[in-house]
Amino acid sequence: MNTLSSLQDKIDNAKELDFGDILNRTFNLFKKTWVQGFILLLLVMVVMLPFFMAIFMPTYNSILEQAQSGNYDPNNASAFLQDQPDSFRYMILGLTFLVSFVTTGLMAGFYRIVKRIDFNESYSFADFFYFYKAKYIGKIFAIASFSLLIALINFAVEKFFPPIGASLFNGVLSIILSVYTTLFVVFFAYNPHLESSDFFTLSFKFGSKKWFLIFGLMFVTAIIGMLGAIACFVGMLFTMSIVYLPMYLVYKDTFGFNNISAIDKIGTE
């Protein structure tokens, strides 16, 4: 079983990883896991549906009323969300945390399944919900709280900075943190025995060392995954899960899975 110190030692001694090799293996792994990836995105979409409805339904109703009265103005429609009261923003923050909480557990379950497929171990649909147990809930809560913190920063920037500057800052911040937020889930999925603070420590340390490699892999696979948009966007449910696979391979090549706990061995026979 990995400890914080042993994982930190592996980060310090991490070897150079080959971008092309990981990308090629990502395609091979995707062939084995695309069904499970589709299920993950389907579950995430179901969870996020209320979130999008809460945000866009008021805007949709406003646009519909303007269209029916013949006074439709795109500028008024785009500014609708900015004119909402603080209570609406608080609701968005709450929904952001809820979505992050649910998707964190689902993604950790997906990474658990990916590992089992890669090592020819048995798995089941229930593995998607493996981490929704009392001993892990607090750790999922901690990871989800980081997404809430990002949302709070975004709201604060939008309130005190001009729209263009705020959008630019939030966009850059999201790009920078995308590597770390994904690593949170990966370290949690494969080291759930560690403390919540350990996931952040390891993710920032390892992410800072391999940021350009990881982000490059995520960027390329995201473009490939978006090719599903050709099939009226529905196809993206089948392809977008590829973006999660390079992170698994990066973790596997750096840390390995030699030490498997007794809990992980249950059900593999």
Cα separation of 237 and 235, whole Å?
A: 5
The DSSP secondary-structure symbol of 15 reads P
Which tens digit of pLDDT belongs to each residue from 55-110? Answer: 666 666 665 666 566 665 555 544 555 555 566 677 778 888 888 999 999 999 99
Predicted structure pTM score: 0.84
- The radius of gyration computed from the CA coordinates of the chain, to the nearest angstrom, equals 20
CB 184 within 8 Å of CB 143: yes
Which tens digit of pLDDT belongs to each residue from 4-14? Answer: 999 999 999 99
CB 214 within 8 Å of CB 250: yes
| Residue spans per domain, the chain | 4-57+83-258
- pLDDT exceeds cutoff 50 at 263: no
